[in-house]
Amino acid sequence: MKILFAASEAVPFIKTGGLGDVAGALPAELNKLENDTRVILPLYGDIVEKYRTTMSYVGSTVVSLSWRNQYCGVFEQVLDGVKYYFIDNEYYFKRSGLYGFYDDGERFAFFARAVLEVLPLIDFYPDVLHANDWHTALIPVFLDAFYIHREEYKNIKTLYTIHNIEFQGKYGRDIIGDVLGLPEEKVSIVDYAGCVNYMKGAIEASNAVSTVSKSYSQEILDPFYAYGLEDILRRKKDKIHGVVNGIDTNVFNPKRDKALFKNYDKKSVEDKKENKKGLCEMLNISYREDVPVIAMITRLTEQKGFDLVIRVIEDIMCRDVQLVVLGTGDWRYETKLRDVEQKYQNKMRALITFSADLAQKLYASSDMFLMPSKFEPCGLSQMIAMRYGSVPIVRETGGLRDTVVPFNGEKGTGFTFYSYNAYDMLGAIDRAIAVYNDKESWKKVVENGMKADFSWKKSAKEYVKIYEKLIK
Ligand code: ADP
């Protein structure tokens, strides 16, 4: 099968979150199953230098966006058996940062249209065009409006994956005439609640929709999780699938990870201690073997459950634990975390930065990994944590519910709570601490997590099944 995977970020070229990890791992796994999967990305100014300088030029064309005609170059690069294409337009993409610009609606409309426009140039007409999140949501909409009648495009099917429903690409109706240039009879596809909504357009126009875990695919039918899209999702629920993400087990491998103070695997898990020592020394907090280090590695946002954490952070600090939070985000949470760090200097660190190196060190050195998300489409961090022997404490929602099994003394990989309530979270932390103090049981829960299979293999097969169903 020929698959074109369109995304706004992919490891190792550029990443801001989980979508980048998925786009960097799933295509290679699909290719191991005898598919020809290629990936298409914007050529951002921020793409890692060593890749920028080694890609080769394919050609250029012109992309129209309503009254505009914009230059569109294409570069390519092969990595791990996957061909990557990069859409070049310096006006749209040669900026510092990926998202958050006043003209994001236009930038990603350009990217979506460019993906369709360059198919003759790259001479690749996929069986399935797989679009992801709001940035590429206009692909199925534009395919339907402008390309599907053309001979080479008429058999292309589309799968649209929602990684995070919070960001939908919502704009005023002016954008229809000014940027999208949609014919009158197609406007209703993107129209939602008086606005233009890119994600709604994709849900409507694509042949199938998926989310990144089974639980989340059910949850988004409920207003608490749907961010206003419950009506359209309920109408389209028969074409919604849930496929849980995996992690790249070669990249996230404590045996080979170069960032660690000392490498280890499930047979030499006692070497985790050396990482804990290394981290405590680096952060200038005392190393205490019998006291658990709780880690959080995350965007500091409401989604990740920081309202709960902040509410009981003093209660957490009153327990015999050490807490290290790595992340950036909402200034309210950043400020509060810094305050707590001041107050509890020997047991708390707030590392307000984005650093892959620090993240890996922290996965390896921590005993517990706290992730009390309000909603979590899939979440990769909890799987990485388990692979590194850091036991997750999570809220039972979305992908957290599907990947963390509550520990019952024998089986299970972590500690969970259900209600979005700070004291329920505290209860789960207390249960984790109690098991930590029982060395034999703790060994078991750590081992169970390290043994669990979070590779992409199984999920890639599920995607293939969806693609096959679409082309049949
Ligand atoms: P989301 O995509 O919602 O942010 P995920 O758990 O799916 O959450 O993926 C987050 C990814 O980003 C993980 O690989 C995690 O290690 C990484 N990450 C998050 N915050 C940081 C940070 N401050 N520094 C380095 N890596 C981070």
Any ligand 1 atom below 6 A from CB of 421? no
Interatomic CA distance for residues 213 and 444, integer angstroms? 26
Any ligand 1 atom below 6 A from CB of 329? no
Q: Is the pLDDT of residue 253 over 90?
A: yes
**pLDDT, tens digit (0-9, with 9 covering 90-100), for 283-315:** 999 999 999 999 999 999 999 999 999 999 999
Classify residue 268 by its DSSP letter. Answer: G
> Are 183 and 149 spatial neighbours (Cβ–Cβ below 8 Å)?
no
**pLDDT, tens digit (0-9, with 9 covering 90-100), for 188-229:** 999 998 999 999 999 999 999 999 999 999 999 999 999 999
Terminal-to-terminal C-alpha distance of the chain = 12
Interatomic CA distance for residues 198 and 272, integer angstroms? 45
Q: What pLDDT is recorded for position 250? A: 87
Q: Angle CA(237)–CA(238)–CA(244) in degrees, nearest 5? A: 75
Q: What pLDDT is recorded for position 193? A: 87
Q: What pLDDT is recorded for position 6? A: 98
* Residue 327 Cα to ligand 1 middle (Å): 8
**pLDDT, tens digit (0-9, with 9 covering 90-100), for 64-94:** 999 999 999 999 999 999 999 999 999 999 9
Q: Is the pLDDT of residue 17 over 90?
A: no
* Residue 61 Cα to ligand 1 middle (Å): 36
* Residue 444 Cα to ligand 1 middle (Å): 26
Q: Which of 299, 303, 404 to mutate to test the pocket of ligand 1 (most atoms within 8 A of CB)?
A: 299
Phi-psi region of 338 (alpha: psi -120 to 50; beta: other; left: phi over 0): alpha
Any ligand 1 atom below 6 A from CB of 298? yes
What fold is seen in the domain 2-246+457-471?
A: Rossmann fold (3.40.50)
Q: How confident is the model at residue 34 (pLDDT cuts 50, 70, 90)?
A: very high
Q: What pLDDT is recorded for position 16? A: 87
Q: What is the pTM of this model?
A: 0.91
Per-residue pLDDT, averaged over 98-124, amounts to 98
Q: What pLDDT is recorded for position 182? A: 97
CATH superfamily of 269-453: Glycogen Phosphorylase B; (3.40.50.2000)
- Which residues have a Cβ under 8 Å from the Cβ of 73 and sit 6 or more positions away? 43, 57, 59, 60, 87, 88, 89
- Fold: same for 2-246+457-471 and 269-453: yes
Of all protein residues, the one whose alpha carbon is nearest to atom 4 of ligand 1 is 17
Tokens 């990305």 label which residue? Answer: 41
Any ligand 1 atom below 6 A from CB of 117? no
Any ligand 1 atom below 6 A from CB of 356? yes
Any ligand 1 atom below 6 A from CB of 166? no
Ligand 1 nearest-atom number relative to CA 21: 14
Q: What pLDDT is recorded for position 248? A: 87
Any ligand 1 atom below 6 A from CB of 380? yes
Per-residue pLDDT, averaged over 386-412, amounts to 98
Interatomic CA distance for residues 29 and 185, integer angstroms? 39
- Residue 74, φ and ψ in degrees, nearest 5: -130, 130
Using DSSP, state whether 170 is helix, strand or coil.
strand
Ligand 1 nearest-atom number relative to CA 382: 6
Where do the domains of the chain lie? Answer: 2-246+457-471, 269-453
> Are 19 and 7 spatial neighbours (Cβ–Cβ below 8 Å)?
yes
Q: How confident is the model at residue 3 (pLDDT cuts 50, 70, 90)?
A: very high
Residue 124 has, within 13 A of its CA and on its CB side, a CA count of 23
Per-residue pLDDT, averaged over 412-431, amounts to 98
Q: What pLDDT is recorded for position 282? A: 97
Per-residue pLDDT, averaged over 390-394, amounts to 98
* Residue 336 Cα to ligand 1 middle (Å): 20
Q: Is the pLDDT of residue 408 over 90?
A: yes
Q: What is the mean pLDDT of the chain?
A: 97
Closest by CA to 26, choosing from 457, 466, 387, is 457
Closest by CA to 456, choosing from 163, 214, 252, 244, is 244
Q: Which of 380, 397, 459 to mutate to test the pocket of ligand 1 (most atoms within 8 A of CB)?
A: 380
Distance of CA 268 to the CA centre of its chain: 30
Query: pLDDT above 90 covers what percent of the chain?
Result: 97
* Residue 360 Cα to ligand 1 middle (Å): 11
